Amino acid sequence: MNPRLPDAVCRQHSAHFGRPPQCMAYAPGRVEILGNHTDYNGGLALAAAIDAGICAAVSRQPAPRANFLAMDLDETAELALPAAGPGQTDPAGNPLPHWARYIAGVAHGLPAGVGAQGGFDISFSGDIPRGAGLSSSAALAVASALALAALTDEKIPPLDLARLCQRAENEFAGARCGLLDQLSSLFGAVNALAAIDFQTLAARSIPLPGAVVCLIADTGVRHALAESAYNDRRHQCEAAARFCAGALGRPIKNLRDVTPAEFERLAPLMDAAAARRARHVFEENQRVQAAIAALERGALADFGQLMFASHQSSRDNFENSCPELDHLVEQARQLPEVIGARLSGGGFGGSVVVTAPPDAAPEITATLQNSFQNRFQRPCPVRAIKPSAGARLL
């Protein structure tokens, strides 16, 4: 966490609302290392909380309403309490700005319902690049939920808090995301990856060898249709699961309830696109298992090959890549020092994650940036991230 962030948020909160914050919380963004679109399919993923995040500050105020301040955007919003549900407008009848819907969703989902004893003011600021696939929205929801729960003395177990934030995103912001972003933000650890099983929601830390640095190369592609394309992929995975349930004659909650052997038998009978989406998910689960084993025996080259294979499957089977992401991964593959590279997160734009030895990072960064500039005539920001501690009250 940037050590100056909490002070800056505290100062601006006091100046804007005329009261100092009573509770503050910090939640980091995340980078998905392996296991793409596996979360809502009950699968497996490896991710890290990053060293950039969002800090939220809250204080009570007497009227039954909530005032929101997005410091970095210099925007405000207002909500009558108790929060009514998705689609609630501000008191003047205007739709809430997109960022404010995450907080409205969190306020609505808190058990006692904030607003029962007056209202609250909330402000936030952070250093996660927006739209780069590093989950600034989940960090906003998690930081807001932690701070508001503390303000209302709610003890919310981490898994319930993650679900509450997911519901805020699903129902209030319209993205049918799984739990990857929220759980990685909550369960991140210094120099470690979180290995998450979305069937059981168990997470454990896998130490990342000191010989690995994670570079995030941002394509700058912010696909206007990314949200609907994401929801569409999810729909196809659910259709594949329904087909399997029908063919196998037993209840199937999600693709994880189908064995890889059953899938191979049924794939040729399924709609071809749904079968390709499901194949991506099955193989990603296998790659995550293999990657954990590779990291545990220190086989970094094997780990890297799994990242490249994951990208290829995104490109060909899940079709959630784009020319800019493909270009960066292809360039990275040609550099002997690179361990692995793949798209990270929902896809259709956003960032590539590259793993490499720390001393090779400057040269890899320069090569990727030059080649991206030559090919697409615009810069490609690359930043090194450090796997960091998870969300917390400050």
For residue 353, the cross-strand partners are 216, 342
Q: Which of 90, 121, 181, 218 is catalytic?
A: 181
Query: What is the Rg, in whole angstroms, of the alpha carbon atoms belonging to the chain?
Result: 21
Is 218 an interacting residue with respect to ligand GLA (CB under 6 A)? no
Query: Interacting stretch for ligand GLA, rule CB under 6 A, among 29-37, 98-106, 238-246, 357-365?
Result: 29-37
Residue among 150, 177, 252, 353 that touches ligand GLA (CB under 6 A): 177
Stretch that binds ligand GLA, among 33-41, 99-107, 121-129, 246-254 (CB under 6 A): 33-41
Gap between the Cα atoms of 113 and 85, Å rounded: 11
Between 226 and 245, how does the x/- string for binding to ligand GLA read (CB under 6 A)? --------------------
Verify binding: residue 43, ligand GLA, rule CB under 6 A. Answer: no
CA 76 to chain centroid: 24
180 binds ligand GLA (CB under 6 A): yes
Helix, strand or coil, per DSSP, at residue 352: strand
Q: Which stretch binds ligand GLA (CB under 6 A): 36-44, 57-65, 85-93, 382-390?
A: 36-44
Residue 39 lies near ligand GLA (rule: CB under 6 A): yes
Near ligand GLA by CB under 6 A: residue from 13, 37, 287, 311? 37
283 is a contact residue toward ligand GLA (CB under 6 A) = no
Shortest reach from residue 366's CB to ligand GLA, in Å: 28
Taking the C-alpha atoms of residue 109 and residue 259, their distance in angstroms, rounded to an integer, is 35
The stretch among 21-29, 35-43, 122-130, 335-343 that binds ligand GLA (CB under 6 A) is 35-43
Instruction: Measure Cα distances from 365 to 47, 340, 379, 383 in Å.
Output: 21, 14, 12, 8
Residue type at position 184:
S
Per-residue x/- mask for ligand GLA, residues 133 to 162, rule CB under 6 A?
--x---------------------------
Query: Does 197 participate in catalysis according to the annotation?
Result: no
The DSSP 8-state label assigned to residue 132 in this structure reads: S
Nearer to ligand GLA, 41 or 59 (CB): 41
Rounded-to-10 torsion of CA 162, 167, 168, 173: 130
Question: Smallest distance from the beta carbon of 309 to ligand GLA, in angstroms?
Answer: 16
| Of residues 327 and 342, the one with the C-beta less far from ligand GLA | 342
Give min distance, CB of 353 to ligand GLA, in A.
Answer: 12
Which residue among 6, 119, 126, 178 contacts ligand GLA (CB under 6 A)? 178
In DSSP notation, 144-195 reads HHHHHHHHTT----HHHHHHHHHHIIIIIS-----SHHHHHHHH-BTTEEEE
- CA 336 distance to own-chain centroid: 29
Distance CA 360, CA 368 (A): 12
Nearer to ligand GLA, 36 or 365 (CB): 36
Residues in the interface with ligand GLA (CB under 6 A) total 12
Tokens of 371: 């080649």
Contact status: 345 vs ligand GLA (CB under 6 A): yes
Decide: is 29 part of the binding site for ligand GLA (CB under 6 A). no
Question: Among residues 175, 97, 108, 104, which one has the least CA distance to residue 135?
Answer: 175
Sequence-ordered strand ranges (E) for the chain:
23-34, 44-61, 65-70, 75-80, 119-126, 192-197, 202-207, 213-218, 340-344, 351-356, 382-385, 392-393
Give the residue nearest to ligand GLA (CB). Answer: 177
Residues labelled as active-site residues? 181
Report the interface residues with ligand GLA, using CB under 6 A.
32, 36-37, 39-40, 135, 177-178, 180-181, 345-346
